[in-house]
Amino acid sequence: MGEVDPAFVQALEHRPKPTIVEAGGIPLIDLSVLNSDDPRALAGLVAEIGSASKDWGFFQVINHGVPSDLRQRIETAAKKFFALSLEEKRKVRRDENNPLGYYDTELTKNVRDWKEVFDFTVENPTVIPASHEPHDQELQTLINQWPEYPTEMREACEDYARGVEKLSYKLLELISQSLGLPEKRLNGYFKEQTSFIRLNHYPPCPSPQLALGVGRHKDGGALTVLAQDDVGGLDVKRKVDGEWVRVKPIPDSYIINVGDIVQVWSNEKYESAEHRVTVNSERERFSIPFFFNPSHYVMVKPLEELINEQNPAKYREYNWGKFFKTRKLSNFKKLDVENIQIYHFKISE
């Protein structure tokens, strides 16, 4: 995974040690109610989703309808892939032209993130802007890179993507209803989605106090649907007091967080939460986030139904494709592209 920069080590050793709260975790929501004919039960579920999105920006779901065998297959394929030699994995590594495939901290020169990943899109191919420049209309077609081994990896990944996609639409519809909008109000934004899945591998870290699996951040898309193993390590920043709360792994559950797009659409009724991943000194960790993202041409702005004179729009509109492209380019620091955030579009009061 590369050597840690001594200057970085020194800086980390002198930083304040964060507090991690183990109790009082994120809300746990049972989605089996979706199979009920009782309108009161469904209304209760919608209210739960709304409260969790407002108070935490995170929640965990069980009885979600994603077949367990889909998850088992992709987890097995991921472990086989990451067990390959570095030379073999780098045959499908990403670069400036194609952000899909394999990369590790040696490629990004970012030793702060102690991990290696493999990315693939749900729609293959996926169309995004060719440039982050605002007036450049040229488009780029992304095509997934698949390794020769394990031979079952592509099929396992594609089947899993469709299973979690169905869950993502269910959650999107529940969030729409929780905002007082029609069930399918937001679905049209995902007609030609730019969603992608990331296979994460966090090797054991000899100095876990000196690195993070992923540094503190917010997700730029609409929703993230995360599968994590029993090792844990995901911390969520609690809004009421700013404490970091460890998310306890629950077998066969998914962790959901609302992203920046939902924050903008809801005009800040819901807010995406900061989160991070801490590494383990003894055990490797695997996780699989599904980033549910709209079409590249979608203009993101507060929904018209939710703004009025008393609650004016808090954000200027922005193009999702350009936002997404800028985020991807910023992973390659030599391109000197700023890691854009939604606060850049915030309307000052």
CA 45 to chain centre: 23
- pTM for this entry: 0.90
Select from 323, 206, 196, 215 the least CA-distant residue to 278. 215
68-72 LR contacts (CB < 8 Å, sep 24+): 68/252, 70/156, 70/159, 70/160, 70/163, 70/164, 71/160, 71/227, 71/252, 71/288
Within a domain: 180: yes
Within a domain: 1: no
Within a domain: 175: yes
Q: Which residues are within 8 A (CB) of 323 and not within 5 positions of it... i.e. 6 or more apart?
A: 220, 300, 340
Lowest mean pLDDT among 30-34, 94-98, 222-226: 94-98
User: Does 201 score more than 50 pLDDT?
Assistant: yes
Domain that holds residue 197: 6-345
User: Does 4 score more than 70 pLDDT?
Assistant: no
Within a domain: 128: yes
If you average pLDDT over residues 92-120, what whole number do you get? 80
pLDDT digits over 42-73, tens only?
Answer: 999 999 999 999 999 999 999 999 999 999 99
Separation between Cα atoms, residue 212 and residue 224, nearest integer Å: 20
Within a domain: 236: yes
Question: What is the enclosing helix (H) or strand (E) of 40?
Answer: helix 39-55
Confidence class for position 24, pLDDT limits 50, 70, 90 = low
Within a domain: 324: yes
> Can you give the CATH number for the domain in which 90 is found?
2.60.120.330
Within a domain: 205: yes
Counted domains in the chain: 1
User: Does 187 score more than 50 pLDDT?
Assistant: yes
Select from 157, 158, 195, 164 the least CA-distant residue to 61. 164
Within a domain: 208: yes
Confidence class for position 211, pLDDT limits 50, 70, 90 = low
